[in-house]
Amino acid sequence: MYKGNTEHLQIPLISDLDNLSDKSRKRLEASWAGDFRRDIFSRIDESVYAVLYSDLPSRPNEPINVLVGLEILKSGYGWTDLEMYDHYLYDMQVRYALGYNNLGEGEFELRTVYNFRGRLTNHMEETGENLLEKTFEQITDEQIEAYQLKTGKQRMDSTQIASNIRDMSRLQLLVEVLQRVYRMFDETDQAQYAETFAPYLKGSSGQYLYRIKGEDTDSHLKNIGELMQLLVEVLHDKYQDDLTYSIMTRVFDEHFIVEESQLRAKAGQELRADSLQSPDDPNATYRRKRGKDYVGYVANLTETCDPENDLQLIVKVQTEPNTTDDADMLEEALPVIASHMDVDEMNTDGGYNSADVDKAMREHGVEHIQTAIRGAKPSEDTLNLEDFQWETNDAGQPEQVTCPNEQTVPVTPGRAGDRYLAHFDQSICENCPLLDQCPTDPLKRSPQRVLRFAQQQVNVAQRRQRSAEARASGKNLRAAVEASVRSLKHPFGNGKLPVRGKPRMSMMIAASAAMSNLRRIHRYQVAKQAEKKRENEAQEQANRTAKRFLASSASIFSRFRYYLRIWLNFQPIPAFYR
């Protein structure tokens, strides 16, 4: 049964904090733990987690804000579960951050954390809703409002992250799947298939490879393929609902093909990047980027980048199989971001462009600025569409174009839906010094030159113009996002998370982002306190200077009065008084 936790809102009359000196207590409140308590723990909306618990009268849940807080701290510091639990029990800073003032208060077994994670994972698998991501966005929205941050300018970047799976060769993967299929069998089936599976059960899947010579690999692949082909058919009725059977079916389809009634193993280049990499993580995929191989997922983050902000915060994180295109993640994230904050500019690198992204940008009134544009670089020997000036309507469709020679003409629709034409006066074009470089073509039946182009070409041209303007300004708002990416992965070491599967991977990334924001807030608060201290010291120095000046002035005036009286005493008496 769901029950909210409000114990931290009531200050106890007596607590372990009373044993601290005033100086130590103020230091605790000003530490990261105090900021965590104020800016994360106290902002957690527990009610969204009520769906994880029964409505029937039963034992109430442990405090959800404490459990969520522990997940954030674990990801933010890269703790193991045992390290996290020890900090929870014995670390006063951690306990203060989680709303407690006493050691021993609110204790529960580590199993409670595991059960909570299980509920979160099951909920995400059933509904697709990541409650930790939802909490992260809710907390961040409140932080943005509290610190009055501007969200109009934002930036986005992605990074490769690995799940906690073994690196397997192709043959080892297939043997591992067969071993799990055997463990799936009941006793009757194990006895029936014992002889068939015997070659694959002598040790681990890795040990199986030790006995295989390189030149024999193809024959072993063929034997495994024939066995899997048989098992897929004969086990369907009995085991079709079992996850292991589904994995075997998937692996067989990905690695083997039947041509003219003949089974063969697919060649390496025929394997898809989204093929199974490990039976422990069905969502992990393979990607080769800049000459390096990656197995796992991609994390995409979006953060504010307005130069007027005193600090910048990550506002959204996404976790997807690493074959997901950057542009697809931008297209998915933009409506969510625009729904609860004002955004009018998105800064990205060259991987985030597509026709669908252009459409989404127009729909939400966001200007897309890229540091580079994906695709072939335009020729420098000829004029390109980015050398023209474009006027478009609200839908992004071109209405008017001005050439580099400043001849402005209307744009007319072409025969196809996304094709357009622009007709220039040939008499003006003949005297243009750029005619030899111009992409327009002369018409035979009319004294005009025509420029033919598609909507997507205009979109790319405008992106190139915005990118060039950004470079010319010398202000690259996207560059600092690289540090944010590093802060997201830093707690895990080499970018490999200690979990498997998209639900747990996405939860840890969201929790790490929340802790990254907390560190920024803490640094901002420390800097603000230091600045306030400097101002106070400067004011005290000014007051001391003023006091010294007044004291000196009073001393001088006193001496003046003294000498004035002496001088007056020696003056002759006026004749009037004689």
In this predicted model, what pLDDT tens digit does every residue of 493-536 receive, in sequence order? Answer: 888 999 999 999 999 999 999 999 999 999 999 999 999 889 88
Q: What is the mean pLDDT of residues 468-478?
A: 81
Supply φ then ψ for residue 545, to 5 degrees: -65, -45
Q: Is residue 487 part of a domain?
A: no
Query: Are residue 259 and residue 183 in the same domain, yes or no?
Result: yes
Q: Is residue 497 part of a domain?
A: no
Q: What is the mean pLDDT of residues 360-384?
A: 85
Query: Are residue 33 and residue 102 in the same domain, yes or no?
Result: yes
Query: Are residue 27 and residue 105 in the same domain, yes or no?
Result: yes
pLDDT at 568 over 80: no
What pLDDT sits at residue 9? 82
Residue 77: CA count within 13 A, CB half-sphere: 16
Q: Classify each residue of 539-574 as buried b or exposed e, where b means 16 or more C-beta atoms within 10 Å of its C-beta.
A: eeeeeeeeeeeeeeeeeeeeeeeeeeeeeeeeeeee
Between the alpha carbon of residue 448 and those of residues 385, 386, 416, 419, 420, the distances in Å are 18, 21, 21, 19, 16
263 or 377, greater pLDDT? 263
Q: Is residue 311 part of a domain?
A: no
Q: Is residue 518 part of a domain?
A: no
Query: Are residue 183 and residue 113 in the same domain, yes or no?
Result: no
pLDDT at 578 over 60: no
Contact partners, residue 426, CB within 8 Å, separation at least 6 = 442, 443, 447, 448, 449
Q: Is 474 left (phi over 0), alpha (psi -120 to 50) or beta?
A: left
Q: What is the mean pLDDT of residues 81-109?
A: 94
Q: Which of 249, 270, 291 is the last residue of a domain?
A: 270
Query: Are residue 120 and residue 36 in the same domain, yes or no?
Result: yes
Q: Which of 401, 431, 454 is the last residue of a domain?
A: 454
Taking all residues of the chain, what is their mean pLDDT, rounded to a whole number? 90
Query: Are residue 125 and residue 180 in the same domain, yes or no?
Result: no
Name the band, by pLDDT with cuts 50, 70 and 90, for residue 313.
very high
What sign results for the dihedral spanned by CA atoms 72, 76, 82, 87?
A: negative
Yes or no: say if 299 and 130 are a contact pair by the CB < 8 Å rule. Answer: no
Query: Are residue 11 and residue 121 in the same domain, yes or no?
Result: yes
Number of domains in the chain: 3
- Domain containing 217: what range? 170-270
What's the CA gap between 266 and 257, in Å, rounded?
Answer: 6
Q: Which of 399, 434, 454 is the last residue of a domain?
A: 454
Query: Are residue 194 and residue 121 in the same domain, yes or no?
Result: no
In this structure, the number of other CB atoms found within 10 A of the CB of residue 80 comes to 10
pLDDT at 413 over 70: yes
Query: Are residue 70 and residue 181 in the same domain, yes or no?
Result: no
Query: Are residue 18 and residue 124 in the same domain, yes or no?
Result: yes
Q: Is residue 45 part of a domain?
A: yes
pLDDT at 38 over 80: yes
Query: Are residue 119 and residue 189 in the same domain, yes or no?
Result: no
Q: Is residue 29 part of a domain?
A: yes
Q: Is residue 38 part of a domain?
A: yes
Query: Are residue 109 and residue 11 in the same domain, yes or no?
Result: yes
Q: Is residue 158 part of a domain?
A: no
